[in-house]
Amino acid sequence: MLKDVEHTLTSRVCCTGIGLHSGKPVNLVLRPAAAGTGILFVRSDLEPNVCFPARAEWVVDTLLATTLGSADVRLSTVEHLIAALRGMGVDNCTVEVSGPELPIMDGSAAPFVYLIQQAGLRSQRRMRRRLVVHRPIEVRDGNRWARVLPSRSFKISMTIDYPHPAIGRQSLQASSMPPAYFAREIAPARTFGFLKDVQALQTRGLARGGSLQNAIVVDDTRVLNREGLRFPDEFVRHKVLDLIGDLALLGLPLQAHVKAMRGGHALYQALVAEIRANPSCWTVEVPGEAAPELSERRARVPRLIPA
């Protein structure tokens, strides 16, 4: 039953990396947190420190990455760390960041998984709640779409389709997402971008920390990284990583079959918003408790509240 209770880190762990857009060093500290805390970000470079939870209502931008914050304080590129925490089964953690963006590391979630493994996990005296989908929910944007369907577990079916010889059409189906699978098959997949887009960003003073050491870069015909790809389908695997991070902003583990076609951060956050806007389609459940019956009429169900 240990998997049915919440978990936090056993000890504090930290690292230093480079911000993708600023190109400046960023210190990152992960600390254990009390049961029921959820994932809490702290801008440790500000006095007083500014805190905000990893929750969908705190998303302020989805251009290029997922950004949390308020009108005055922001924290960008959070999705890889949040995905690592969710993928490795960490429910409660305080994340201290010494700047406006998380370190990009190698462009994947593998370094964050390593940190979590070094810190270790410990169980907590609180049952892990789940958001269980009972009816389909879908969002569309032209030929791009994402949906959640009822399922006995968390599943993902993802397809991407780029008119590029190095990418093309790739699909991945994961019938489950245990921590070992996430760490081995999803976390190492790196973010990717097109050379012309990277150059355009750099002329605007962005992506100053971007390089072939922390992203897959493709020109008009090929992958420019000398070491090549970590997986033949690394591109779609990274899209799955992003999806896991964005869905984690629901604040609870999701029990559903998630399907997406040509997805990205904006589409994923639109799906999250649609889920939150339709509480008659899901319930918040605790293992061992009977789920309430749903009718065609709007059901009385628990509201989505912080984990």
pLDDT reported for residue 71: 82
Read off the pTM: 0.91
Q: Where do the DSSP E strands lie in 99-227?
A: 121-127, 130-133, 137-141, 144-149, 155-162, 168-174, 192-194, 216-218
Burial letters 18-34, b for 16+ CB under 10 A, else e = bbbbbbeebebbbbbbe
Same domain, residue pair 56 and 188: no
Catalytic one of 7, 80, 257, 265: 265
Same domain, residue pair 146 and 241: yes
What CATH number is attached to the domain comprising 41?
A: 3.30.230.20
Q: Which helix (H) or strand (E) is 284 found in, with range?
A: strand 282-285
Among 127, 157, 176, the domain boundary falls at 127
The label of the residue with tokens 């012309």 reads: 196
Strand partners, 7: 123
Neighbours of 280 (CB within 10 A): 15
Among 127, 150, 170, the domain boundary falls at 127
What CATH number is attached to the domain comprising 184?
A: 3.30.1700.10
Residue 289 CA, chain-centre distance (Å), reads 28
The answer to whether residues 122 and 9 touch, using CB atoms and an 8 Å cutoff, is yes
pLDDT reported for residue 64: 81
The answer to whether residues 32 and 10 touch, using CB atoms and an 8 Å cutoff, is yes
**Within a domain: 226:** yes
Among 112, 127, 142, the domain boundary falls at 127
The answer to whether residues 15 and 81 touch, using CB atoms and an 8 Å cutoff, is no
Residue 253 gets which letter from DSSP?
-
pLDDT reported for residue 300: 30
pLDDT reported for residue 142: 96
Indicate the pairing of strand 130-133 with strand 254-255: parallel
The C-alpha atoms of residue 171 and residue 237 are separated, in whole angstroms, by 9
Same domain, residue pair 244 and 273: yes
pLDDT reported for residue 213: 94
Same domain, residue pair 29 and 121: yes
The C-alpha atoms of residue 23 and residue 99 are separated, in whole angstroms, by 11
Query: Each residue's pLDDT tens digit in the chain (307 positions)?
Result: 456 999 999 999 999 999 998 899 999 999 999 999 999 999 999 999 999 999 999 999 988 889 999 888 999 999 999 999 999 999 999 999 999 999 999 999 999 999 999 999 999 999 999 999 999 999 999 999 999 999 999 999 999 999 999 999 999 999 999 999 999 999 999 999 999 988 888 888 778 888 999 999 999 999 999 999 999 999 999 999 999 999 999 999 999 999 999 999 999 999 999 999 999 999 999 976 654 443 333 333 333 333 3
265 catalytic? Reply is yes
pLDDT reported for residue 202: 82
Q: Is the dihedral of CA 220, 161, 192, 267 positive or negative?
A: positive
The C-alpha atoms of residue 85 and residue 91 are separated, in whole angstroms, by 7
The C-alpha atoms of residue 97 and residue 264 are separated, in whole angstroms, by 25
pLDDT reported for residue 288: 66
Same domain, residue pair 65 and 156: no
**Within a domain: 220:** yes
Q: What is the number of domains present in the chain?
A: 2
What domain range includes position 80? 2-127
The answer to whether residues 82 and 245 touch, using CB atoms and an 8 Å cutoff, is yes
